[in-house]
Structure 1
């Protein structure tokens, strides 16, 4: 690459070379951190809920008559909903579903002794107690949601209650491992401060209605408890293509069965819509981050190409002299590409340091995780490729300068 002539030329254009180096450095630092933030957001919106998302839809109903028999109304509603063509199963829940932002939670301990420790510490941290999200519903909830039971069994019909707390529960694998690390959780009796609740089943995954942090997002438990209020949500399972039709038919069936109720159209949603609404801000942020990164890369590419074009115009005479003494078009092309490689490399080295410093700043103020160092070589490769592509056209134009034209310009 003839390093010495390149360095000699750059010494005569110090300010321009330094400015381009700084531009590459800031681009490297920002793009590496933006790529990391995008990856974090994508990982967040891709988190599995554990349920059959593409087959579920929900509709919210609220009775307005006083003294109404809720259990009888729910039984009639479920019978009508299950009779709709395409509905495979239907259950009633109080409200909570993964990612629907309506969470009910309560403290639970693996033993009474753990609860005593939590009271002494005035915190569940370090006590062994956990605060999981709670789900409830009528019989058939496990099958309707499509949960994967990895141990134990589903609830028995006589274990369901309408008032008070049930004596049994099903927990997620994450919650079981947290409550009883290194031990078999199935058959253990948890303590909530008033009652002992026996674990009769363990499901693989069931996400919380509101995400907290990765270590807590899977802490969930299911009660065999029928909803006992005027407001109830019906969850319907059908083929993905039938969900919108099923929702419209469900609204018609519920209002026909009992006109004295409120069916909110805003609460008639497929689960795909529920998930999309929950992650709407994250999706928007991903788009903004990607757009800003691409915009910055585009500006950097323009800067590299513009500088290369300027230098080609300024060096027409020297290019012609080199051609006249035997330099080939390939030599001229490699010269400009090598010059660009050195400038971009200097910017990448400085940019790597700035990327780490920027990440530390984001960690301190926005709780962003530490930037994995393997993002730096990926960013370097991207900027090297961008630099070579940006300088390619000006370098090819320089290589095509004929020696006779350069000689006449002397």
Structure 2
């Protein structure tokens, strides 16, 4: 196939060809970045939690009347929940993975460090790692005698009594690697304030933060031996997946029997918690899929329309070529080559626009840079789309008999 006649023809239709090239370029730029954004959303939604997701339940209670001793109330509730048939483990927590509301602490390796190394999610409550099902990869779990009541901690901080503060903590593997890369973290001290240092006694494989915005920092978490002394309590229950609904109903009934005046502010499975947390990501991914489908459809229709217009406009030229010995395959190849050249020009321009759009998104929305693999993948999709879209008009052009074509003028 000689390219020069095709280029000469396109030069006579600069405006039409230019508009199609621009349409393909914009589609390439938007589709590449949209697919990248979908990938980011899917990666975020697939973030590991580090807990036994299909075995966990949460019950949040609020007391209408003032509670004289919230610690005694919590111990009573825990004892009642442990007696519910099907309950394997129960604990109190200040937050849950993907729970939204988060508690965090600035982390230092050295008390004299001016700026913190990073911020870590801080879990505290009783029997948490065991109830969560978080996997311990080094060291040991927190012991009952290591737990300290929150009111004692607040009083100690006010009086400067460091001896009354918690002494130990569990950290995730990601947090240990960030603080002491390539070293054994057990026995090392991590500082949550310049005055409060906690000795690492155990390392958890993973435990995601309650509100993990960034996958790069999502696993920076720690568990402290601190008991919550508040009227509103959040209980987490571990049971078999098939028993969740029955256990949840029985646990609510047991707690209501202890104190009917309390209000249940939330009762749900962890699956529901995760689904609710990522609902915006799913919606965004769906919208982007719709945008991609619409753009590809509009681009394909534009290619079909332009090719059909050119076939109708060139019927006499096609007839002359057929009369001079051009085969149907030659006519088909001509239109496919012409479309390939237009698509290539649009793709080249689209790659430049895709890179520029990604720079804008990086500057304003803190997205990572667009991987280079997305550009050739997008180019391949648009090339295939262009060839499929032009195939129908090209087949009609190839099927025009020479005599009919030459008499059509």
TM over 0.5: yes
Moved more, 324-333 or 345-354: 324-333
Partner of 1:5: 5
Relative to structure 2, which stretch is displaced further, 350-359 or 206-215? Answer: 206-215
Which residue matches 2:34?
Answer: 34
For residues 214-246 of structure 1, give each alpha carbon's deviation from its aligned partner in whole angstroms, at most 9, with x where no partner exists. 443221110122322211111112233432333
Alpha-carbon deviations, 1:103-146, whole Å to 9, x = none?
A: 22223322xxx22231xxxx32xxxx44321111223x212211
Pairwise CA distance, 1:354: 1.3
RMSD: 1.8
What is the CA-CA distance between 1:310 and the residue it aligns to? 0.6
Contact 1:130–1:179 (CA under 8 A) maintained in structure 2: no
Q: 1:193 to 1:53 in 2, by over 3 A?
A: same
- What residue is the counterpart of 1:157 in the other structure? 144
Alignment of 1:55-204 (within 5 A): 55-93=55-93, 95-110=94-109, 114-118=110-114, 123-124=115-116, 129-139=117-127, 141-163=128-150, 164=153, 165-191=165-191, 192-204=193-205
SS in 1 for 2:104: coil
1:310 aligns with 2:321: no
- Confirm or deny: 8 A CA contact 1:81 1:250 kept in the other structure: yes
Secondary structure of residue in 1 paired with 2:211: coil
- Aligned-partner Cα distance in 1 for 2:118–2:368: 24
Equivalents in 1 of 2:403, 2:70: separation in Å?
97
State whether residues 102 and 210 of structure 1, in contact with CA within 8 Å, keep that contact through their aligned partners in structure 2.
yes
* The 10-residue stretch of structure 1 (373-382 or 395-404) with the greater mean CA deviation from structure 2: 395-404
Q: 1:22 — aligned with what?
A: 22
Equivalent residue, structure 2, for 1:320: 319
Partner of 1:232: 233
> For structure 1, which segment, 275-284 or 388-397, has the greater mean C-alpha deviation from structure 2 after superposition?
275-284
Unpaired runs of at least 5, structure 1: none
Indicate the larger mover: 52-61 or 324-333: 324-333
Q: What is the DSSP-based 3-state SS (H/G/I as helix, E as strand, rest coil) of the residue aligned with 1:132?
A: strand
Q: Is the 8 A contact 2:111 2:195 kept in 1?
A: no
Task: Tell me what 2:286 maps to.
Answer: 287
How far apart are the structure 1 equivalents of 2:118 and 2:336? 60
Q: Which moved more, 1:247-256 or 1:392-401?
A: 247-256
User: Which secondary structure does the structure 2 equivalent of 1:340 belong to?
Assistant: helix
The worse-fitting range, judged by mean Cα deviation, of 179-188 and 82-91 is: 82-91
Residue 245 of structure 1 corresponds to: 246
Deviation, 1:178, is 2.2
Distance in 2 of aligned mates of 1:204 and 1:67: 37
Paired residue for 1:205? 206
Partner deviation per Cα, 1:286-344 (whole Å, 9 max, x = no partner)? 11122112111111111000001111111111112222222222221111111110110
Note the C-alpha offset of 1:381. Answer: 0.2
CA-to-aligned-CA distance 1:46-96 (integer Å, 9 cap, x gap): 211111112212010123343444333333322332333433222122x31
Given the alignment of the two structures, is residue 329 of structure 1 paired with residue 335 of structure 2, yes or no?
A: no
- Whether 1:256 aligns to 2:257 is yes
Secondary structure of residue in 2 paired with 1:117: coil
What stretches of structure 1 move > 4 A for 4+ residues in a row? none
CA distance in structure 2 between the partners assigned to 1:366 and 1:225 by the alignment: 37
Provide the secondary structure at the position in 2 that maps to 1:277.
Answer: helix
SS at match of 2:91: strand
Cα distance in 2, alignment partners of residues 78 and 27 from structure 1: 58
Structure 1 SS opposite 2:209: coil
SS at structure 1 position matched to 2:226: coil
Gaps in structure 2 of 5+ consecutive residues: 154-164
* SS class of match (2:337): helix
Shift of 1:259: 0.9
